[in-house]
Amino acid sequence: MSEERRSTIRYEVADRKAYLTLDRPDRLNAIDFHMPGDLAAAVKRANATRAST
């Protein structure tokens, strides 16, 4: 059985700016094994959004 993992990065857009927030408050936002990949995916998403506007 596989568990769905939630992202460690919160992605929000306001005033044409993307805000990426570390979202592991239970671990004081410590970087874990998944966070670098989640951060890279969020940056890629922000760049794709910027390119489409």
Q: Would you say residue 53 has pLDDT above 70?
A: no
Global pTM reads 0.80
Q: Tell me the C-alpha distance between 20 and 11, whole Å.
A: 5
Q: Tell me the C-alpha distance between 42 and 32, whole Å.
A: 16
Per-residue pLDDT tens digits for 30-46 = 999 999 999 999 999 99
Q: Quote the radius of gyration of the chain (alpha carbons, Å).
A: 13
Name the β-bridge partners of 28.
none
Hey, where are the domains in the chain?
A: 9-51
Q: Would you say residue 24 has pLDDT above 60?
A: yes
The secondary structure of 8-29, three-state, reads CEEEEEECCEEEEEECCHHHCC
- The pLDDT, as a whole number, for residue 31 is 95
Residue 1 confidence class, pLDDT cut points 50, 70, 90: low
